[in-house]
Structure 1
Amino acid sequence: MRSLLPLLPKPSRYAGIEDNACRKDPQQVRLRVALAFPDTYDVGMSYLGQKILYNIVNSRPHWWAERVMAPEREAGDILRAHDTPLATLESDTPLAQTHCLSFSITHELCYTNVLYMLDLAGIPLRTADRPQDLTACPLIIAGGGALLSAEPLTPFIDVMVLGDGEESLPDVLELLEKALDAGWTRERMLLEARHIPGVYVPSLFTARPEAPTAPPVPLLDDYTRPARRIVADINNTPYPAKQVVPVGAVHNRLSLEIARGCTRGCRFCHAGMVYRPVRERSLETIHNLLDDCLGDTGFDEISFLSLSTGDFSALKTLCFGAMDRCTREQIGLSLPSLRVGSIDDEIIERMSDLRRTGCTLAPEAGSQRLRDVINKGVTEEDLLLHAQKLLEHGWRQVKLYFMIGLPTETDDDLAAITETCLKVRDAAGRGSPRLQVTAALSPFVPKPFTPFQWVPQISQEEIQRRVYLVRNQFKGQKFLKLRWHEPAMSHLEGILSRADRRMADVVEKAYRKGSIFTSWMEHFELAPWLEALEECGLSAQECTGERQPGSPLPWGHLEAGISEEYLLREWQRALGEKITDDCRYGACRQCGACDTKAGPSRMPHTPSPGCAGTPLQEPAVETRAASDAQTQDAGSEPDATLQATNLPDGHLHRNRLIFSQRDQRAHQPSRDEEGRLVCRPPASRPPKITTELTVKAAQYRIWHSKAGGSAYLSQLELQAVLDRALRRAGLPMAFSQGFHPMPLMSFGRALPVGVESHAEWFALTLHKILPPKEIADLLNPLLPPGMEVIRVEFVDKSHRTEQAFAEAFRLTLPTQDETRQAAQCFTEFAALPELNFTRDTKKGPRTANIRAMLRQWEPIVDEQHNNAIEAVTFVADWSNGYLSPLLFGMAILQPLGTPDTLRPRVRLVKTAQLFADEKLYP
């Protein structure tokens, strides 16, 4: 694939030059593993699960895990046109030459992308069609949160890993290594894999033609119910400190998992049910990881990650410990997945002192009745108070997530969405600033292993009607915006989410009809799927319709750790509009996830030390007082928080928390004499920045190269790469002031993507004076392959952003004959009196005389090889206008071919820059 970089869109995504990417000698490793994410690079590099597994596999000296993402459609077409197989990012190894290809399956709409990647790699799509020789075709495995109901993928995957993969994946790879050494067949490998806890081998089950919606039948008596495997104590699992730093990602920040699992009990939430119990990482472990991760990545934003971050029992203690560092180093802090009212005033106030990130809240439903049906545990008063606190501390925008099509929903519930948004907009009261509210509507999709797994999904037409109903209510309202998920896409998700094995043929047919990147609106088409359904004798209504409680379900042979009895009880409570308390702080509901007096956990798990009645650590005295106050406010009994089970050590006890009660005070709304909510006037101020960081002690110009894979970094990507490298180097960068403090850096002209250079520069301001050599020594080891600091020099402020008026280049082609022809093109071009060249710009077509831009040129002759011309050097003069040197070169070489045919063959390298003093730099 590397040879095609000049042709590929976003080529830096395929160059394999990222910081902290693992590079090993192929001759020194026994097992080659490709960790595949079936979506674009930008999405895949935001996925924490792959980073965790990447670190675990590469910690073994004789194993090598590399990454591969789904190339975008245009890139895939280029690979096919050049008969080039999909390859890994680190070593450019074709996937078919690895020993194991492991997919992360995070949602149903990525199914066809799995087939897309297998097809691009030249690997047979179905297990049944793969050779028995494990050296001839890699073992295809998969993991991820969506696998507990991924029956449509079962014919395509050899081994599925259910649950936490930190221990299951190494177990599978150890068995694979043994199989390769012993010369086992693929069939023997799969038979042996069934003994690994948490492993599901789909080929060891067969569908029942007479009852296709029933669970598949096991073929072996000793392998009837594969179960989700979990790690009981996440403090004892490896976590990647030295994470691969992407050149671009949806979430380009440090994601630090602080807890796993959620027991809030939202009845629509698949993850909240199947990731139980809650396991919190200790404060000491988190702070150590934070130091290591920031030091090894240079990220300027931290995201504390959990299914419900605001419910982390020691969130205030954690945040206060991290915020001082964030202020000191100008690092942003975001808390995603916040439940309304889950953070108190003090945290919001401290966060307002930092670079502000966006704020998203999820009331999920507009009316209190419907919030009780789904067990959201949020009141309107909670929501308004949270909004008022945001306004008070300087936020002016908030995003609210709602679901439509929830069980028992009426048009009155939909109207309540608009009413709720208006109340949030006006939360500060008359005469005060309003919040800009963006409401996002997502159609409800019933998911397996939830209390709503039996309910029907409303039709695509009904989804559309409900979206339009809310949209019409939003019309004309100031400070309100509405966005919604495409109804047809949610309809397809509903078709796939509860499907049986018959859907595998539909998935393959849809792929053959061109359906890939189905979760992207620009690529989404429902028609191929409907055609495939019809060809397979299925209907959409059959897939999205109601299931009867107690009837066989396609996923019924898998153990998720949640009993059907518990799910049925919760379904009945939903119909009765009854709330179920969080079992972290309330009574156990016997869901089946933990070892209790009533019975053992339904899942295999790593033994956990300690017991449920023993928190990981006790809070400070003042924190305990705050927790007790909150407990009384909530009306719960302190003793019921973590009921000791009197089980011996080694069992999976109930939710493993740091503090037995949350370390935050409950919000106390201010009310007037008539009991109405009093919203204080909001305050608006820029985030705090220490005076030291704004000092401009010294300014430098740092000259560097940009070659090899680094030449494919765009200017924006280069800025991000340098910012992180400077942070990792510990250089005392100076920052701007205002609402968005930024490092004081400036750059020379942007180099076209794919053009190399030995003469690039950027200007940097530090708040402490350092010797130039020290800056170079600190920075050089942290730059990506192909980049190196050439020289660092002090620069006067008046010349800090001075641009060169001319630049020197060296141009070569693959053969001497082509280079000779290029020299002839330069001779003919130089003989022209003028040449007008028109190019498209953002402001429309622009025409310029580009002959005047060629200041001088000369061929470079190889005297040792018959005076053959080995290169052409030229100086481009930009004093009367600038043109991309790549376009300039292509215009001169026009007699040799079109830019599309020439670009992969031409190597253009900038060698020097010429400033007003007529000296060549560097």
Structure 2
Amino acid sequence: MRELLQLVPKPSRYLGIEEGTVHKQGKDISIHVALAFPDMYEVGMSYLGQKILYGILNERENWWAERVFTPCVETAQVLRDHNAPLATLESDTPLNKLDMIGFHVTHELCYTNILYMLDLSGIPFRTADRGESLDIPIIMAGGGCTLSAEPLAPFMDLMTLGEGEDMMVELLDTLEQCKKENTTRHEFLLRAAKVPGVYVPSFYEAKEQGTMLVPTEDVPARPTRRVVPDMNDADFPTSQPIPFGAVHSRLALEIARGCTRGCRFCQAGMTYRPARERSVTNVEKIVQESLTTTGYDDLSFLSLSTGDFSALKELFMNTVDRCSQEQVSVSLPSLRVGSIDDDIMEKMASIRRTGATLAPEAGSQRMRDVINKGITEEAIITHVRKLYQHGWQQVKLYFMIGLPTETYEDLDEIVELCRKVRGAAGKRIQVTAGISPFVPKPNTPFQWEAQISYDEIRNRIQYLRDKFKQEKCMRMRWHEPESSLLEGIFSRGDRRLANVVETAYAKGAVFSSWVEHFSIEPYLEALNEHGLTIEEYTGERDLEAALPWDHLNNGVTKEFLIRELKRAKEEKVTEDCRYGACRVCGACDKGAKESELERLTEDTTYQNLLNKEERDQHAHEIELDENNRIVIKSAVSNKPPKLAEHLAVKAAHMRVWYSKEGASVFLSQLELQSIFERIFRRVELPLTFSQGFHPLPLISFGRALPIGVASKKEWVNIFLREEFTPEEVFKKLISAMPAGMHPVAVEKLSMAKKQPQPYAETFKVEYVGDKEREQDFIQAFKNMLEEDSIMWTRSTKKGDRTMDVRPVFAKVIFNEEDITITLDWSDIYVSPVNIVKAITPGFEVLDFKMTKLEQHMP
């Protein structure tokens, strides 16, 4: 599909030339797989799981793991119009030519996107239609949803349950052996089903409707979730593909897995047990290596509950000092109320202050006890006051509505809690309430509870909207009820919904998690056509009845979940088992009770693993005045975070000239900004930063080059904090740029910020279209030379603008194989591509290529 990039929106999504990508020779490859993310590039490249597997699988010299993402609808139409199959990023290999395609399934609304990608690849949707040969790729799914993804079962040859680092290696070893032996597809699946954590859906069926699925082959009766027992043994990709723009473009470092807080609505908290942490030493080593190899300026410590990392203060304080020296920000997402102290807040504020987000989940204490959130209103207010003290003036609070036993009085408490947060600091701060309808999830204590109806979701949202409209400095955002309803249907769905997924896709349902693409109508029509109702999936479940996912063992017992459901109805709180009594959930080895998880070796143990370092016991101490109220120190919100003095030093001003050819011609100017910043960090060229709330490196570019146009000589200017010679800068950059880009020269500039721009540029125009029309293309240029004026109209935000572009053509030279044009920008600037299109009507952008040869400076 590479030859079509000039026709698609944002072509950099499909280049596969990012720093950190892996390219191998096909003739040396015995196993060729695609790690497929069923959403757009910008979303998928924020997903750490893909990066981890990408690094592990590509360590094998004869294995090649590439990436593929869901193309936007415009790109998909281009592929269909040109009969081109969906292909991998790195080698542009059609997906139907691979050995395996592994889909990362992170949420239920991506199911139709999987069929969309298979459709664009020419691969049969259903396992039953793929025959017995291994020539058609094995289609598999992994990720957080596979423990309850029965609506996908007929489409998947296999699924992986749990953590895939070791499982994927064992699975591909099995596939490689089967390919050598030229076995059938069925034989491979039989062997794959013996790999711990692998589930082959076609080997399980229900003897009667509504009963638990049982195996039909000699395979495990209950496939069990796979776990990496020790996080220090878990691979982390210190070198990884650096995206050309992503929702979260940062170094995301996983410091722990699992959470034992026991929130009763939280699927991840129940299914990722036991809790395991990396050692501080291990994390610091990864940070050092990763920042050096990636060039990121943003570091995020990730886990389900980052604030519960038992050595968080030591880790954060050790890391932040190093990062502040290079203007690298450090963020701690997934923080619980009261989980960080003043020292951490102060350090965070001193680097880069962003919005603060807290998740009370419910407005009333009664509801927080029902869901076992484990935080009080006093703790929330104290946390907000401390945020204000350290300079934050905006807070976002997340709430769910429709929780079991919720009343309208509980909704009123959401508004009241927001009011209290707004005034917590003694003056008003801006509060945003994010409202999401509750969806009962499998493998949680609430998996048997009913989801409130669509109409009632709308009623409760409107009720809250009316309340918030009456308040100043308080606003409300909400998740669309239709989307939550669909999530509720599929999250607890069975295999009958596979027909609904396929029919909804045929009716146009794609990108269902995107507001601009979402429509529930195809799904409702499909449900009706297959004789299914919303209520049988969103309604209350019988505690004694079989659930669609009962044949899969996630490690937490049904008995524990039922006990927690009972405690929820009694409004009883269950304390965190890492610090309190064990509740025998099934995930851990505890005394004589062994974990429900499968033993991989004789010495495998499953238990909550904390760092040896003790958390600061005084982290939450607060200062009170004589009236027993919290002392609020002077706020610093009107001052930007202090920039280290050495970061603003201007010791040298350099211009780097570089070429931009090959695949790199599809990189935009906006993308080049972050690309070059990371390049300079990786090669240790110390950039100078601006002052202010968001210090930025002092980098400036020449006139933006249109996407698709090559250049022999572009430039970027940089201020450096240290003296370097042009030769030293050139040497550092010589192998650091993306494919197609190379340093051409480096020159020293004056220290003045403004530098001259070119008044004219010379381009080579090559005709690459239908040979029979080549002379018509050349004649169009000759006709232009005979005209006194050429009026051209372009659309702008202020309406259409018409201009005479004839004076722009300063010189035209007709060569044997191309045309050289010099364009004069003294009076106006127009995209060179549009200039050529203006004088060659009837020709398309695929009919010619342009290369900038020279920039004429004053």
**TM-score, length-normalised on structure 1?**
0.91
Which residue is equivalent to 2:192? 193
Distance in 1, matches of 2:126 and 2:394, equals 48
CA deviations 1:758-809 (Å, max 9, x no partner) are: 1211110001110111111112311100111111101123474321111111
Deviation of 1:818 (Å) = 4.2
Deviation of 1:674 (Å) = 4.0
Which residue is equivalent to 1:348? 345
Distance in 2, matches of 1:361 and 1:186, equals 49
Assess if the C-alpha contact under 8 Å between 1:270 and 1:449 holds in 2: yes
Distance in 1, matches of 2:484 and 2:454, equals 8
- One-letter identity of the residue aligned with 1:852: P
1:408 is aligned to 2:405: yes
1:438 is aligned to 2:435: no
Distance in 2, matches of 1:699 and 1:585, equals 56
State the SS of the aligned residue for 2:741.
coil
Given candidates 559, 583, 607, the residue that maps to 1:654 is 607
Given candidates 595, 599, 603, the residue that maps to 2:597 is 603
Which residue is equivalent to 1:711? 665
Which residue is equivalent to 1:540? 534
CA deviations 1:550-578 (Å, max 9, x no partner) are: 22111111100000110011001111111
Distance in 2, matches of 1:780 and 1:362, equals 48
Deviation of 1:221 (Å) = 5.5
1:763 is aligned to 2:717: yes
Deviation of 1:392 (Å) = 0.9
**Mean Cα deviation higher: 356-365 or 91-100:** 356-365
What are the within-5 Å matches in structure 2 for residues 546-695 of structure 1?
A: 546-606=540-600, 650-659=603-612, 661-663=614-616, 665-684=618-637, 685-695=639-649
| Structure 2 unpaired stretches of 5+ | none
Assess if the C-alpha contact under 8 Å between 1:834 and 1:852 holds in 2: yes
Distance in 2, matches of 1:82 and 1:222, equals 44
Deviation of 1:842 (Å) = 2.3
Distance in 1, matches of 2:744 and 2:661, equals 13
State the SS of the aligned residue for 1:6.
helix
- One-letter identity of the residue aligned with 1:258: I
1:915 is aligned to 2:840: no
Number of residue pairs the alignment of both structures matches: 856
1:389 is aligned to 2:386: yes
State the SS of the aligned residue for 1:226.
coil
Deviation of 1:666 (Å) = 3.4
Which residue is equivalent to 1:833? 788
Distance in 1, matches of 2:235 and 2:845, equals 45
Which residue is equivalent to 1:153? 152
Deviation of 1:285 (Å) = 0.9
Which residue is equivalent to 1:258? 255
Closer, same or farther in 2 for the Cα pair 1:752/1:768, shift >3 Å? same
- One-letter identity of the residue aligned with 1:725: I
1:887 is aligned to 2:829: no
Deviation of 1:493 (Å) = 0.3
Deviation of 1:653 (Å) = 4.1
State the SS of the aligned residue for 2:7.
coil
CA deviations 1:7-36 (Å, max 9, x no partner) are: 111100001111110001111111001000
Assess if the C-alpha contact under 8 Å between 1:140 and 1:158 holds in 2: yes
1:15 is aligned to 2:12: no
Distance in 1, matches of 2:617 and 2:760, equals 61
What are the within-5 Å matches in structure 2 for residues 728-743 of structure 1?
A: 728-743=682-697
State the SS of the aligned residue for 1:490.
helix
State the SS of the aligned residue for 1:797.
coil
What are the within-5 Å matches in structure 2 for residues 282-293 of structure 1?
A: 282-293=279-290
1:860 is aligned to 2:854: no
Which residue is equivalent to 1:613? none
Assess if the C-alpha contact under 8 Å between 2:587 and 2:606 holds in 1: no
Distance in 1, matches of 2:390 and 2:785, equals 64
State the SS of the aligned residue for 2:444.
coil
CA deviations 1:632-690 (Å, max 9, x no partner) are: xxxxxxxxxxxxxxxxx924242111036433633234444444444333223322322
Distance in 2, matches of 1:754 and 1:215, equals 56
Given candidates 817, 820, 823, the residue that maps to 1:876 is 823
1:504 is aligned to 2:481: no
Distance in 2, matches of 1:831 and 1:550, equals 87
Identity among equivalent positions (%) equals: 53
Distance in 2, matches of 1:859 and 1:296, equals 47
CA deviations 1:358-394 (Å, max 9, x no partner) are: 3211111111110111000111111111111111111
Deviation of 1:4 (Å) = 0.7
What are the within-5 Å matches in structure 2 for residues 27-426 of structure 1?
A: 27-134=27-134, 136-208=135-207, 210-211=208-209, 213-220=210-217, 222-426=219-423
Distance in 2, matches of 1:98 and 1:139, equals 9
Distance in 2, matches of 1:596 and 1:713, equals 55
Deviation of 1:606 (Å) = 4.8
Which residue is equivalent to 2:445? 451
CA deviations 1:409-433 (Å, max 9, x no partner) are: 111111111111121111111xx4x
Deviation of 1:817 (Å) = 5.2
Which residue is equivalent to 1:477? 471
Assess if the C-alpha contact under 8 Å between 1:495 and 1:543 holds in 2: yes
Deviation of 1:502 (Å) = 0.6
CA deviations 1:703-735 (Å, max 9, x no partner) are: 111111111111111111111111101101111
Assess if the C-alpha contact under 8 Å between 1:332 and 1:356 holds in 2: no
- One-letter identity of the residue aligned with 1:808: T
Closer, same or farther in 2 for the Cα pair 1:774/1:820, shift >3 Å? farther
CA deviations 1:153-210 (Å, max 9, x no partner) are: 00000111100100111111000000000011101111111211101010100134x4
Distance in 1, matches of 2:369 and 2:635, equals 31
**Mean Cα deviation higher: 595-604 or 552-561:** 595-604
1:727 is aligned to 2:681: yes
Which residue is equivalent to 1:617? none
State the SS of the aligned residue for 2:715.
strand
- One-letter identity of the residue aligned with 2:541: R
Assess if the C-alpha contact under 8 Å between 2:193 and 2:219 holds in 1: no
Assess if the C-alpha contact under 8 Å between 2:361 and 2:399 holds in 1: yes
RMSD: 1.4
State the SS of the aligned residue for 2:462.
helix
Deviation of 1:819 (Å) = 4.2
State the SS of the aligned residue for 1:838.
strand
Distance in 1, matches of 2:362 and 2:29, equals 53
Which residue is equivalent to 1:614? none
- One-letter identity of the residue aligned with 2:664: S
Distance in 2, matches of 1:260 and 1:93, equals 35
Assess if the C-alpha contact under 8 Å between 2:768 and 2:846 holds in 1: no
Deviation of 1:516 (Å) = 0.7
1:822 is aligned to 2:777: yes
Assess if the C-alpha contact under 8 Å between 1:428 and 1:682 holds in 2: no
- One-letter identity of the residue aligned with 1:312: F
| Structure 1 unpaired stretches of 5+ | 608-648, 862-869, 917-922
Assess if the C-alpha contact under 8 Å between 2:86 and 2:95 holds in 1: yes
Assess if the C-alpha contact under 8 Å between 1:344 and 1:664 holds in 2: no
Which residue is equivalent to 1:903? 845
Assess if the C-alpha contact under 8 Å between 1:231 and 1:605 holds in 2: no
